[in-house]
Structure 1
Amino acid sequence: MFKRMLSAFGIGGPSVDTVLDSPHAVPGQAITGQVRVQGGSSDTEVGQVVLSLVVRAEDENDQDLLRLVVQQGVRVSAGRLVSIPFQLTLPHETPITAVGGTALPGIGVGVRTELVISGAPDKGDLDTVLVGPLPSQDGVLDAFGQLGFSFCGTEIEAGRLPGVPHELGFHQELEFFPPAQYASRVHRVRLTFVAKPDRLHVVLRPGAHAAPGTSGHLQLSHEEAQGTDWAAAISGWLTQVAGQGSANLAFAAQPGQLQGHHEQQRGLGMSGMGMGGSGMGGMGTGGAGMGGPGMGGPGMGGVLAAGAAGAVGGMVLGEVADEFFGDDE
């Protein structure tokens, strides 16, 4: 009786350890591993073994991306080890937490294991998953590096973007300082990805005090995104936002208001523009030396890694781009 009572308070009861086959993943990918339950001093009936995929951001409560009951009714004998294999598929909207294998500051995604014993959940620690960008997102990020943007941080914002189908009730913002020639007119640029199995939504917004109508929204297939000249598209948008206070026509149409924010957004589907691949080349204005293909500059791995190391505030480390932006995502 005394042992059963101690077990109910977590004393002498089973312990749990979750082991991931790999800590690296991309949105939409399945991660695999094992939940290892080590028996305590007495036999225990575990009602449920539950896995949660959790996003954690600075100064924010943990947000559950998904929950999965791995197994029910598990009897764990005293002193015995029970291993339970699992497979957990990341939602396509999972925030990016690493680029080039380097973790971004201020945000994390992890797997939390929960044993439910006698109806009471016992939550374990987070096992970190480094979520890298999809290839279609990678091209956008690399263009930011080519153009001379500097990574300054990332946040999780509650609410949904208008005109964009969301699976989750929140979205990630990647924030950048613009190139030096635009710094006096555009304080920051915020980038949001909303990925789906077959499409990618890319939303660009200036800083908090930007004029209405200066946000840009483009949706296209993952294949089209990989063939798009993002450097030209982004530079054209930024030039018009800085110089005219209005969005690049390539990102124009269908204004709407972001929930919880007093600003406007515009969006246009890719199919109506004939903008796949080389068709994007004419979008950039070419202003301020920020042309499209063939221009030099660091990849996004160098820019984000510099921010992750604390080297932000307008500094882009071109010489370390290749080191940080290797093949490891």
Structure 2
Amino acid sequence: MVFKRMLGAFGVGAPSVDTVLTTPRVRPGGLLAGEVRLKGGDFDAEIEHVTLGLVARAEAEIGDGEAHGLAELHRMRVSGPFTLAKGEERTIPFEVAVPWETPVSEVGGQPLTGMGLGVRTELAIAKAVDKGDLDPLSVEPLPSQQRVMEAFLQLGFAFKSADVEVGRIHGIHQELPVYQEIEFYGPPGQIKEAELTFVADAEGMHVVIEADKRSGGYGDAIGRFRVGHDEALHKDWAAEIGGWLAGLSAYGGGHHHHQGHHYHEERHHHGGGGLGGMVAAGAMGVVGGMVAGELIEEAFEGGEEEGDGDW
């Protein structure tokens, strides 16, 4: 068996690690399964823990600029302390829950442009930590989320790209320190572009839509919908979203418009904006831990295994 990464943090003769995902495609709230394969090096090693990190390409607003890097969204410990003997081969199976707020990276089998998600394996020996192995992960939308995206296509929108941003959406509880924006080109008419964000939990999800009008009004408008997963499957989303969009023209971008579950307001995602807003949101740990952009491409595109692909 060929192990993919030697753990450089521990020096020559260190253990090696390879993580194999048996569920390379998951949904938010679903289970991620696989195994971590370890092989002992030239010495007995006291393993403190083996932890999986859910990571994503992300961008963060810092002052007037943006930083791009690899952000860890969630940590999942798969093993506590044990001794890995010299030359020993050990397999640690795992089955861990993926957060409900996990960003979506493909729809209908087609990757979303701009997205990069992966599982990074972290091994700790004697206070040294090596983030040795990065495996790409595809996340499909929940059926409830799929219905909303299909409604955009029915309304004449077209997928543009998606990204993950460090920060919080004002007024909505988030477990993760990031949120995803799925961007659409607008159909001919009033709306130039729209951005769609899901903040899901076990019961349902917030659907946040930011519409960029072609002209007039008072800037972008934001619509919010809170809906249960089952209810979302039976809602006429094309009518719901289409009605809200039509209301933008009638009411203007700066005015509140209440109807059913939704309303829109002045654009403001970060609850403070810029670096200050992120500190207030407790997201600085993510910004501080982001890997430099140059390393991302190497990690995402340099995999040797089939399925690593070009992110």
Scaled to the shorter chain, the TM-score interval is: 0.7 to 0.9
CA–CA separation in structure 2 for the residues paired with 1:218 and 1:7: 48
Q: Which residue of 2 aligns with 1:175?
A: 183
Q: Which residue of 1 aligns with 2:73?
A: 65
2:164 corresponds to 1:156: yes
Q: Which residue of 2 aligns with 1:12?
A: 13
Kept in 2, the 8 Å contact 1:55–1:108? The answer is yes
2:199 corresponds to 1:194: yes
CA displacement 1:10-55 (0-9 Å, x = unmatched): 2111100001111010000111111100112232222221111112
CA displacement 1:154-190 (0-9 Å, x = unmatched): 122232222322112221111111112x2xx322111
TM-score norm. by structure 1 comes to 0.70
CA displacement 1:139-159 (0-9 Å, x = unmatched): 001111112111111122232
Q: Which residue of 2 aligns with 1:221?
A: 228
Q: Matched residue of 1:223: which SS?
A: helix
Give matches, 1:87-126, under 5 Å.
Answer: 87-126=95-134
Name the CA shift for 1:254/1:139 in 2 (closer, same or farther; >3 Å). Answer: closer
Kept in 1, the 8 Å contact 2:117–2:137? The answer is yes
2:242 corresponds to 1:249: no
Name structure 1 gaps, 5 residues minimum. Answer: 1-5, 263-329
Name the CA shift for 1:189/1:68 in 2 (closer, same or farther; >3 Å). Answer: same
CA–CA separation in structure 2 for the residues paired with 1:260 and 1:155: 20
Once the two structures are TM-superposed, the CA of residue 121 in structure 1 deviates from its matched residue by 0.3
Kept in 2, the 8 Å contact 1:159–1:260? The answer is no
Once the two structures are TM-superposed, the CA of residue 7 in structure 1 deviates from its matched residue by 8.9
TM-score norm. by structure 2 comes to 0.74
Kept in 2, the 8 Å contact 1:216–1:251? The answer is no
Name the CA shift for 1:94/1:123 in 2 (closer, same or farther; >3 Å). Answer: same
Name the CA shift for 1:187/1:251 in 2 (closer, same or farther; >3 Å). Answer: farther
Name the CA shift for 1:244/1:261 in 2 (closer, same or farther; >3 Å). Answer: farther
Kept in 2, the 8 Å contact 1:46–1:115? The answer is yes
Once the two structures are TM-superposed, the CA of residue 68 in structure 1 deviates from its matched residue by 2.5
CA–CA separation in structure 2 for the residues paired with 1:109 and 1:260: 27
Kept in 2, the 8 Å contact 1:240–1:248? The answer is no
Name the CA shift for 1:248/1:204 in 2 (closer, same or farther; >3 Å). Answer: farther
2:212 corresponds to 1:211: no
CA displacement 1:226-273 (0-9 Å, x = unmatched): 1000011121222222454245734545857532459xxxxxxxxxxx
One-letter amino acid of the structure 1 residue matched with residue 107 of structure 2: V
Kept in 1, the 8 Å contact 2:101–2:201? The answer is yes
Q: Which residue of 2 aligns with 1:310?
A: none
Once the two structures are TM-superposed, the CA of residue 109 in structure 1 deviates from its matched residue by 1.8
Name the CA shift for 1:43/1:72 in 2 (closer, same or farther; >3 Å). Answer: same
CA–CA separation in structure 1 for the residues paired with 2:54 and 2:272: 25
Q: Matched residue of 1:95: which SS?
A: coil
2:241 corresponds to 1:234: yes
Once the two structures are TM-superposed, the CA of residue 69 in structure 1 deviates from its matched residue by 2.5
Kept in 2, the 8 Å contact 1:153–1:175? The answer is yes
Q: Which residue of 1 aligns with 2:136?
A: 128
One-letter amino acid of the structure 1 residue matched with residue 212 of structure 2: G
Kept in 2, the 8 Å contact 1:97–1:109? The answer is yes
2:84 corresponds to 1:76: yes
Provide the aligned C-alpha RMSD in A.
2.6
Kept in 1, the 8 Å contact 2:226–2:261? The answer is no
2:31 corresponds to 1:30: yes
Partner of residue 137 from structure 1, selected from 125, 140, 145: 145
Kept in 1, the 8 Å contact 2:168–2:174? The answer is yes
CA–CA separation in structure 1 for the residues paired with 2:195 and 2:208: 8
CA–CA separation in structure 1 for the residues paired with 2:142 and 2:197: 13
Higher percent of residues as strand:
2
Name structure 2 gaps, 5 residues minimum. Answer: 1-6, 60-66, 275-311
Once the two structures are TM-superposed, the CA of residue 77 in structure 1 deviates from its matched residue by 2.1
Between 1:247-256 and 1:144-153, the stretch displaced more is 247-256
